[in-house]
Amino acid sequence: MSNYVSLGIFIAIIVLVWIVDGKKFKKEGFLFYLRRTKWGVDGIHSIGSRYSSLLKRFGTLGVIFAFGLVGLLYYFKTIGKEKKISRGKCALITVLYTVFASGFIYLLHDMLFASIVKQFDLMFFGGALIYVLEILAFLFGMAGYTMFSLSYGVVSVFAGSTTESSVQLVLPVEVSESSNLPIVSVPLVVWLVSIFIILTVHELAHAFVSSSVGLKVKSIGYGFFAILPIGFVEPDEVKISKVGSLDRSRIYSAGAFNNVISAIIIAVILISTVFVSAKVIDNRYGEIYDYNGVGYSVLPPEDSVELPSSVLPESGVIIGLNGEKIDRFDDFIGVLENVGPDENLSILINDTSYDITTVVNPQNSSRGFIGINGFYNSMELKDEFKGSLLVQFIEAEAYIVYLFSWVVLLSIGIGLVNLLPIRGLDGGKMLEEISITFFGKKIGVKIVSYVSLFALLVILFSIFGSYIV
């Protein structure tokens, strides 16, 4: 379904909603149209009261997730207003945090830390910046990690090591690759479903934690900003100033924390579902595809160094390697793992043979390197399965996985952005509570103003900086 068809259906739904329920909408601010209701409020209060202790702990974990060791120290400083906590217990909790956070950083060293520094080509000082980023994440949590990751992107633009925006907007618009705009295109339906799920998960977390600390939710509802759908939960803003600082921070942290937790849960379910269904299909039907090679794409040259792949087509299907027939990726790896640097290779691509000489693999000096990636198995459905219910099931499953993969990516991305120390965002609200707790209101407000301005400039430069420098 094209974006134009999806947009037409979406606008038709908005018109239908407006015809049926339009009189109950209220215009607030610039282009905001909100529909409030009390439906579900009693359920939120009931759950918040029944699981008050559990939801408070969830909010506390959210604060520590957001601001790391600083968040933990803030918890120790403010929890005394609720209950006494011994120094021994504080020490034990600190040790547990240190062990857990260190294990988390160690397990995700390559994915979250080394990849950021390598992506922005900032591997000077022997890669020490990787460990700087890990220390900052330990001290300042995911808010610190996100803030300093974006700062690395800004540095890379000034250093001239990248010409691309380090932050890209995910929007349901079609843009050509040649436009070089900081936009990642996504189908409209996928974008709308993802935003709806993310907002629902985010706002409900705020509502439940608000209720758990005794702050009543006045209403819930939905609406539109222009034609973009939004959902909201409306706590009693007058009474929020009367609850403690820690409780306010628990409420602020809950939304983004729930976004990240829900993304992890969805990812685990997706992986498990695909694995189980693949096993069931394989056991019942056997091979349903004919494999006929390995697709690839060519890596761009680095630092003007010509890679062996420069003589290859930009993309294609590898069907032979050094005289060996290549049907699938396992065959390709089986031949290539025995090839070292400075060795001659004969590659058969789409019935055309190419002779190249490997170079040293940057990840393993004992292995040869060609300079291609983006591998995938080139395969075709066997004739006896074409048009069957099995194929329809596989296609439906693939679309669901594709849809919820975007939900996972956007949920984590939006959650982390919401933790940035910018006024108006949940991260900025938590930073204000933490700063005032440690430094008093006068200094704390100034700290938030300066940090918020710096973070906002970093965000803007991360999006548009490559067009300026």
* pLDDT value of residue 88: 87
The DSSP H or E segment spanning 315 is strand 315-321
* pLDDT value of residue 304: 46
Distance CA 375, CA 331 (A): 12
* pLDDT value of residue 149: 81
Identity (one letter) of the amino acid at 202? H
**Which of these, 80, 102, 100, lies nearest to 90 by C-alpha position?**
80
**Which of these, 48, 59, 449, 71, lies nearest to 247 by C-alpha position?**
59
Structure-block tokens of residue 94: 């600190």
Distance CA 84, CA 15 (A): 56
Q: Residue 54 to residues 51, 57, 213, 411: CA-CA distances in angstroms? A: 5, 5, 11, 23
Transcribe 258-296 into DSSP letters: HHHHHHHHHHHHHHHHHHHHHHHHHHHH---EEEEEEEE
* pLDDT value of residue 387: 78
Distance CA 292, CA 348 (A): 12
Provide, for the chain, the percentages of residues in helix, strand and coil under a 3-state DSSP scheme, each rounded to the nearest 5: 60, 20, 20
- Asked if residues 266 and 198 have their Cβ atoms less than 8 Å apart, the reply is no
Distance CA 222, CA 22 (A): 12
Tokens 């300026």, residue located:
468
Distance CA 298, CA 293 (A): 16
Distance CA 271, CA 176 (A): 31
Distance CA 355, CA 296 (A): 17
Residue 267 has phi, psi (to 5 degrees) of -60, -45
Distance CA 148, CA 333 (A): 37
Give residue 178's region: left, alpha or beta (phi > 0; psi -120 to 50).
alpha
* pLDDT value of residue 98: 93
pLDDT tens string for the chain (469 positions)?
566 676 677 778 778 888 887 788 888 766 778 888 888 888 888 999 999 999 999 999 999 999 999 999 999 999 876 677 888 888 999 999 999 998 888 887 776 666 665 655 554 554 677 777 788 889 999 998 888 888 877 777 666 655 666 677 787 777 776 667 777 888 888 888 898 899 889 989 999 999 999 888 888 887 777 666 777 777 777 778 888 899 999 999 999 999 999 999 999 999 999 888 888 887 777 778 888 899 988 776 655 456 777 788 888 899 999 888 999 899 988 888 888 888 888 999 988 899 988 888 877 778 888 888 888 888 888 888 887 888 888 888 889 999 999 999 999 999 999 999 998 889 999 999 999 999 999 999 999 999 999 998 888 888 777 676 6
CATH class in words for 289-381: mainly beta
* pLDDT value of residue 182: 75
CB contact burial 170-184 (16+ within 10 A = b; e otherwise) = bebeeeeeeeebbbe
Tokens 């959210």, residue located:
62
Q: Residue 460 to residues 127, 140, 157, 457, 463: CA-CA distances in angstroms? A: 27, 22, 13, 5, 5
* pLDDT value of residue 177: 65
Query: How do the domains of the chain map onto residue ranges?
Result: 7-271+405-468, 289-381
Contacts with 399 (C-beta within 8 Å, 6 or more apart), sequence order:
none
What residues does 298 pair with on adjacent strands?
372
pTM greater than the 0.85 cutoff: no
